[in-house]
Amino acid sequence: MKITRVWAMPNRETFSIKPIKELIQEELVKGIVIDPFAGSSKIANITNDVDPQHDTDYHLDALDFLRGFERESVDMILFDPPYSPRQLSECYKKLGKSVNFETTQATFWSDLKNEMERIVRAGGKVISFGWNSQGVGKNRGFKIKRILLVPHGGQHNDTICVVEIKVQSSLL
């Protein structure tokens, strides 16, 4: 496993941060690449964002978007969700969507990861972005290949990028 730390200024458009953009370019695979929280990013060939102001292929809740894929049909997922329940709440409220216990509890994130485990084929990748290094996890058949730590300085939280490879097929 390779661990790297590179300083960069924060930006709400995660994929425009130079070291993160470089990481994605180095790790990008051919085939079906999806982004359930794309925002304005056009890196993936199938994009989704719940906010209809973004020019994406779909405007679904991320879980519904992931559920639309067949088992082991995806080669790579760029997983850059809101990093905290507060950010998720702000996004939903801005769109007039209800925020409840289900959308802010840990099982929401587990459900997303379970769907990613289901749809990524063996040998496929997930690159997760956030304030922790959990990724999808080895209990779901993934192995960490690389971690990029991007400190932003001052009172800004670091962005942690985790590249994982699916080493085994889904058992279900």
pTM over 0.85: yes
Nearest 10 degrees: Cα torsion 123, 132, 7, 62: 60
Q: Given CA atoms 27, 14, 44, 111 in this order, what sign does their dihedral have?
A: positive
Model confidence pLDDT, tens digit, residues 115-146: 999 999 999 999 999 888 889 999 999 999 99
Smallest CA-to-CA distance from 87 within 55, 44, 50 is with 50
Q: Is residue 170 part of a domain?
A: no
Q: Is residue 72 part of a domain?
A: yes
> Where residue 3 falls among pLDDT bands split at 50, 70, 90?
confident
Q: Is residue 169 part of a domain?
A: no
Domain that holds residue 119: 2-161
> Where residue 92 falls among pLDDT bands split at 50, 70, 90?
low
Q: Assign residue 82 the CATH number of its domain.
A: 3.40.50
Query: Residue 38: its pLDDT value, please?
Result: 95
- Measured in degrees and rounded to the nearest 5, phi and psi for residue 82 equal -55, 135
Domain count, the chain: 1
Q: Is residue 167 part of a domain?
A: no
What rounded mean pLDDT belongs to the chain?
87
Q: Is residue 145 part of a domain?
A: yes
**Distance from C-alpha of 95 to C-alpha of 65, rounded to nearest angstrom:** 17
CA 66 to centroid of chain Cα atoms: 11
Tokens of 54: 């973004």
Query: Residue 87: its pLDDT value, please?
Result: 59
Tokens of 25: 């370019």
